[in-house]
């Protein structure tokens, strides 16, 4: 039923207007390309704050210092924006058309996480959120409702996953990500905070049950208990967020993953209901689906920027990306790729040089030993020298 544009009279009529408007918001959201939408109260849920505090206090956030900043705003929407009364949580499906786990068998090629194979989802989702927000303000004003809004996509102190769960668009699985009955583990999230008082949707019940597939498949045992993640062990964190050298204990487990890891998402049994993404911008680009490791290792900064133009992976930067590529090369078992590692021993980046040493040592240990004296003598970076010194005699 469309909302009336007649002059409102009384709280009861305002309630009726808000209820009708809520229906229209959901319809408009779907018209704009969102696959899931729900409402939650902007009032803080104490359990969210407790979980966040415990996570940060345990140091499980690693290099992501921003998680320890503005914690009060992150845990409570009304601290971030006191005028907020409701949160509209939205999801956009990015389901792949192939099994991401199959790509792990292609040892000479790099695996880029599904979410980064298309255009940057931040740009796509935020553009749709803004369109929905503008529509809400205009439509609400015409109906006599005072509506103000703020939009967020993974770039502000907002606890997106707990809010999405409270709004009923999915539940936080044992891997800590949102799981949907209709889209499995493949939803991008965005939020609209609004001054409009909307009736909250019932939260989605936890439907993981006794399943431990995501826990069992994690290559580095980063999921330490259902719903508890030690990000410092997570391959997505190590290959994307971690700015330094990747600890040797995790390098073998990284395999050929050069940007992120989808294992815990891809193994989820709820993916049997998942659908392939319909948003054209989220579909994978040819150059980002299983690119050759040899080609990736040769990237300079300009070529890196060109390859990842418009992708979420661009923010990683060339040096950290090639660091990851060299780890994948070291794991490839392909001696022919040793020349790619050797070519990077003189790279300007210590991150790259260190992993070139490691990769060469994995594929051509005799050649690495032969080069050790020459390169280590002129090496100025302590961590890179340590890589040479740690090489077995």
Catalytic residue annotation: 154
The residue written with tokens 């410092």 in the block is 232
> What length does the chain have?
393
Q: Where are the alpha helices (DSSP H) in 157-315?
A: 160-166, 213-217, 235-236, 248-254, 263-266, 293-297, 301-307
Write the CB contacts of 352 (distance below 8 Å, at least 6 apart in sequence).
Answer: 319, 322, 323, 326, 344
Write the CB contacts of 279 (distance below 8 Å, at least 6 apart in sequence).
Answer: 33, 92, 93, 94, 124
- C-alpha torsion angle, residues 227, 233, 236, 239 (rounded to 10): 170
H-helix or E-strand containing 390?
A: helix 382-390
Write the CB contacts of 230 (distance below 8 Å, at least 6 apart in sequence).
Answer: 60, 222, 224
CA distance 312 to 156: 16
């Amino acid at each position: 039923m469309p909302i009336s544009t007649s002059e409102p009279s009384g709280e009861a009529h305002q309630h009726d207007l808000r209820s009708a408007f809520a229906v229209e918001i959901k319809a408009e959201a779907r018209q704009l390309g969102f696959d899931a939408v729900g409402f939650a109260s902007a009032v803080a849920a104490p359990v969210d704050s407790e979980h966040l505090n415990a996570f940060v206090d345990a140091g499980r956030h690693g290099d992501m210092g921003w998680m320890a900043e503005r914690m009060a705003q992150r845990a409570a929407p009304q601290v971030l924006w006191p005028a907020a009364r409701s949160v509209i949580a939205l999801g956009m499906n990015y389901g792949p058309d192939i099994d991401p786990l199959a790509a792990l068998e292609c040892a000479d090629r790099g695996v880029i996480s599904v979410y980064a194979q298309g255009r940057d989802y931040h740009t796509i989702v935020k553009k749709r959120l803004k369109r929905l927000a503008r529509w809400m303000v205009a439509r609400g004003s015409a109906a006599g409702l005072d509506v103000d809004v703020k939009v967020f996509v993974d770039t502000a102190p907002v606890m997106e996953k707990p809010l999405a769960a409270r709004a009923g668009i999915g539940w936080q699985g044992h891997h800590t990500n949102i799981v949907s009955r209709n889209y499995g583990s493949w939803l991008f999230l965005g939020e609209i905070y609004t001054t409009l008082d909307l009736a909250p949707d019932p939260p989605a019940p936890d439907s993981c049950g006794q399943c431990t597939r995501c826990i069992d498949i994690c290559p580095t045992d980063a999921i330490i208990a259902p719903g508890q993640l030690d990000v410092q062990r997570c391959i997505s964190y190590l290959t994307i967020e971690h700015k330094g050298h990747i600890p040797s204990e995790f390098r073998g487990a990284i395999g050929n993953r050069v940007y992120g890891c989808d294992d815990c998402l891809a193994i989820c049994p709820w993916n049997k209901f998942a659908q392939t993404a319909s948003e054209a911008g989220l579909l994978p680009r040819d150059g980002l689906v299983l690119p050759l490791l040899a080609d990736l290792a040769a990237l300079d900064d300009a070529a890196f920027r060109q390859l990842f133009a418009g992708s979420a992976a661009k923010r990683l930067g060339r040096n950290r990306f090639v660091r990851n590529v060299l780890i994948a090369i070291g794991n490839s078992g392909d001696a022919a790729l040793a020349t790619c590692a050797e070519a990077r021993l003189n790279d300007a980046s210590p991150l790259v040089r260190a992993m070139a040493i490691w990769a060469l040592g994995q594929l051509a240990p005799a050649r690495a030993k032969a080069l050790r004296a020459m390169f280590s003598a002129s090496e100025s970076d302590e961590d890179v020298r340590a890589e040479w010194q740690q090489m077995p005699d």
